[in-house]
Structure 1
């Protein structure tokens, strides 16, 4: 297991795709949120910010970053999982895994562990980035409550990353890249539809976005701990399905 984990770490460090995805997931939400807040005096931008404006600058910044991350993160993390799992079939390296001292299931476990580490990295970088962006915009020194809003960004990012794990199973079943990317798009679209319906945050892939938006309109978007727990449970289910599929791979 240690050998498989080390191999996945080395491949991830040397590859370009993870760097691009991580950069997009971190810089994208921060840049968009900073641009919107910097131009809030413009009537058109002010109208877009109105649903999330509370008058608390740190809360507004954190809410914007969390909402963008919850939406775009599903696609970004899905692409990353497509690269992790689908490329073994596209590059025809899957056969070599059967000659490795560890089995395919251990390799898949290592991939998921490295992916979890990337989720944690993106979440922490976004949290630090929110603080840096706030100071760059001239926001006052954050209070403990403000740090709680920043912590929500970190948690939403982690839950969004976990919500993309079905893409790993899709890549395994399809043995390619298109199906997991299509799955990520389908999850993103279905989450937006769920937000507009009575299902709301009970749909695990919509819960992080609902929680992100609840900072601005808590009366409309209350998200319970049970609903957030469903996100983790769903991720665990699809991780188990992925490991089971890799354990049954045959040449």
Structure 2
């Protein structure tokens, strides 16, 4: 085996090892479990509560959330769920990623990583991959929970457009996780959990302001939510800006981990 091939094999083995270790950490994490439950339960409860309020004749809810909610049917339920998920998913996934990366600094375990045979860049890559895998799983669980909640509210059997709307919400969770990847870089440069959380809050705020000011469909922080609310208004190329943002920031995070120093 040539030297480059041997180096590639070692890197692949190291990544597999790091993925196993980080997956075990994630499964044992109270932060990830509680974040998952809060997001899923919160979106379902809020969506059901808003539809119930509309059915009870609360016109103020209709004025705040738009005329789509006035129907009190599956369309109203999914409209509320999409709007809530658009903001809540970014916040939830960003906090989770800030913990995955920042805990090494907050708990003082980062020093031990320098003595491992697996490089720090590979460890950072594994953290991001495990995070995206967790977000993808959350993107499956949330639509299933929303389907159960809608049926429990008496909305009836879903048709094809409703199922398509549920699928969009699932993909919205994953795209929101891509938008929240800057939390990993902030937690690395800030050497702790709080910078990552603060960056996540900042991303949500910028996205909200951008949407209010009409930032456009090509703005990666708002494109996923705009697409989920009105799919026909956002081209596929614009929707790809969120994964591209995640890829670029993840690469910077891996580079920062490679250059970590104990005296800083």
Report the TM-score range of the alignment, normalised by the length of the smaller protein. over 0.9
| Counterpart Cα distance in 1 of 2:131 and 2:76 | 29
Q: Which of residues 108, 119, 135 in structure 1 aligns to 2:135?
A: 119
Residue in 2 that maps onto 1:28? 42
Separation (CA, whole Å) in 2 of partners of 1:12 and 1:33: 28
Q: Any stretches of 5+ residues in structure 2 without a counterpart? A: 1-14
Question: Structure 1 CA distance, aligned partners of 2:110 and 2:104?
Answer: 5
Contact map agreement 1:159 1:231 (CA 8 A) in 2: yes
Structure 1 residues 1-251: aligned runs within 5 Å: 1-40=15-54, 41-53=57-69, 55=71, 57-214=73-230, 222-251=233-262
TM-score by length of 2: 0.88
Report the Cα distance in structure 2 between the residues aligned to 1:129 and 1:112, rounded to whole angstroms: 25
Q: CA deviation at 1:54?
A: 7.1
User: Are residues 241 and 106 of structure 1, via their aligned partners in 2, closer, same or farther at CA, if it must alter by over 3 Å?
Assistant: same
Q: Structure 1 residue 56: deviation in Å?
A: 7.8
Contact 1:162 1:231 in 2 (8 A): yes
- 1:205 is displaced (CA, Å) by 0.8
Q: What secondary structure, in the 3-state scheme, does the structure 2 residue paired with 1:138 have?
A: coil
What number of residue pairs does the alignment pair up?
A: 246
Q: Residue 33 of structure 1: CA displacement?
A: 0.6
User: Partners of 1:61 and 1:205 in 2: how far apart?
Assistant: 24
Whether the 8 Å CA contact 2:22–2:127 is kept in 1: the answer is: yes
Please report the RMSD computed on the Cα atoms of aligned residues, expressed in angstroms.
1.6
Instruction: Tell which has more relative contact order, 1 or 2 (C-alpha 8 A, sep 6+).
Output: 1
Give me the whole-angstrom Cα distance separating, in 1, the residues matched to 2:171 and 2:67: 22
Pair member with larger Rg: 2
TM-fit CA distance, 1:89: 0.8
Task: Give the conservation status (yes or no) of the 8 Å contact 1:52–1:213.
Answer: no
Whole-Å separation in 1 of the counterparts to 2:230 and 2:139: 19
Q: Deviation per CA, 1:26-57, whole angstroms, max 9, x where unpaired?
A: 11111101110011122222333434337482
Q: Deviation of residue 168 (structure 1)?
A: 0.3
C-alpha separation in 2, matches of 1:119 and 1:54: 31
> What is residue 3 of structure 2 aligned with on the other side?
none
Which 10-residue stretch deviates more, 204-213 or 47-56?
47-56
Deviation at 1:100, TM superposition (A): 1.5
Please, what TM-score do these two structures have when normalized by structure 1?
A: 0.92
CA offsets 1:178-223 (integer angstroms, 9 cap, x no match): 21111111111111111122323322111122223326xx7xxx22
